[in-house]
Amino acid sequence: MATTVTELHNRIHALMPQARSDLAALVACQSVADPQQYPESEPLRAAQLVIDDFTAAGMRDTRLEQMPDGHPAVFGHIPAPHGAPTVLFYGHYDVEPPLDPTGTAWKSPAFQLTERDGRWYGRGAADCKGNLVVHLTALRALRALGVNPPVGIKLIVEGAEEQYARGLEDFIPAHPDLLRADTIIVADVGNSAVGIPTLTTTLRGIANVTVTVSTLENPLHSGTFGGPAPDALQALIRMLATLRDARGNTTIQGLDAEATWPGPGYPAGQFRANTHMLPGTDLLGSGTVADMLWSRPAVTVLGIDCPPVVGSTPSIPARARALVNLRVPPGMDPQHAQNALIAHLHAVTPWHARVGIERVALGPPFTARTDGPAYAAMSHALEQAYGRPTTTGGQGGSIPLVHVLQQTYPDAEIMLTGVEDPSCLAHAPNESVDPAEIEHMALAEALFLANYPASAPQPAD
């Protein structure tokens, strides 16, 4: 191509102050898509910033598209030159609630981008506003150098991803031509470590349930009736304890929990450091970290409804409830996994307690194609941007939208990238991003957009 790697690198480096300004403005939007916690005007403010920024970066007809669930998404596009392929960029402008925004958990204001120890802190700095800034910076760099992207580009930025909304998932099959593309880049993950270019090739699925245990018509005095009267909370605890063995392996009857990860591993020491495990605590499971994280089902109790310690009375609980999260590895049917979890909980219910189980969430796992021209072009672009070979990894999380994209556009290559790293604390207090990741990923995207067409197949539309 006429534009060299050095020219793009220099241009993107010069754009980093603007990238910081872009991210600061986005982080300042308290775009939690839950009107019970934050005004609806805040997500809309973030959406308008996305529209304005991408329009300035060369996107056409950038606008809000109303989703079936009422949460709008931002759409924009740059038409493809004749015979050229189209690339779709995905992101989201909403964020998780900050958790303790005015307390001591955050070392700096959650909605104010703050630089500290070489990182930029703020809610959404990594997940996923930092990824939006990557797209912006790549497009601005090409535009500043007078380079018209030799591909078509489409953009979809949803507004309620963190609230498990299904609006975009329902919208895409009903409007397939709007987002049809040859390559789809889902920028909502990241590298295995800062400075190590990583393409995520698998995602776990999800199969959540809520289990409610009832044993009495109402709570009873623990002195007068304690002993023979069945305790709903203890019944629930006994049930939940059967979901893992003493080593921490998942032990749901009917689910294979012995698969192994075939790719590069995840060193145990690195995992301990990334998770800030307390000294002396054990890693769970009989497999490697990569096996447990990317290839095996993992069950987590996300929450329990029961009397709190403060304000409790000497009473036998009559009812208790838990939200159980089951992560489903690639190759496992999430419906089968959820059925197995439900059957297991019924089978281990003690004392003939009454049990009600509600299916809460279901999403399939994902395995990416790694043999296409887009994958090869992105792998090479990442290698050029970072100055070291691109590696691959799994992702223990779930992105149900990816399955919808795969089903709707079966011929498209779907790649998972992003600026998150194990230290970013996405979803937790003190979320942050390393600005070097924004710079390197923006360079990789710009290089990809410039070079992908040379080896691309016939366009999707």
Active centre residues (catalytic): 94, 161
Residue 342, CA distances (Å) to 205, 255, 333 in order = 17, 12, 14
User: Under the phi-then-psi rule, with left for phi > 0, alpha for psi from -120 to 50, and beta for the rest, what region is 427?
Assistant: left
Beta carbons of 94 and 162 less than 8 angstroms apart: yes
The DSSP call for residue 244 is B
**Alpha carbon of residue 104 to chain centroid:** 26
- Sign of torsion over alpha carbons 79, 414, 143, 377: negative
Q: Where are the alpha helices (DSSP H) in 28-97?
A: 41-56
**Alpha carbon of residue 459 to chain centroid:** 29
Beta carbons of 232 and 351 less than 8 angstroms apart: no
Beta carbons of 365 and 334 less than 8 angstroms apart: yes
DSSP annotation string for 122-160: STTTTTTHHHHHHHHHHHHHHHHTT---SSEEEEEEES-
DSSP strand pairing (366-367 vs 152-158): unpaired
Tokens of 114: 């703050």
The neighbour count for residue 146, using CB atoms within 10 Å, is 8
Beta carbons of 253 and 347 less than 8 angstroms apart: yes
DSSP annotation string for 160-190: -GGGT--HHHHHHHHSHHHH--SEEEEES-B
Show the 3-state SS of 38-55.
CCCHHHHHHHHHHHHHHH
Sequence-ordered list of residues with C-beta below 8 angstroms from that of 90, at least 6 positions apart, any chain: 156, 157, 158, 184, 185, 186, 187, 188, 401, 405
Place of tokens 């009559």: 318
* Residues β-bridged to residue 244: 250
Tokens of 71: 């949460």
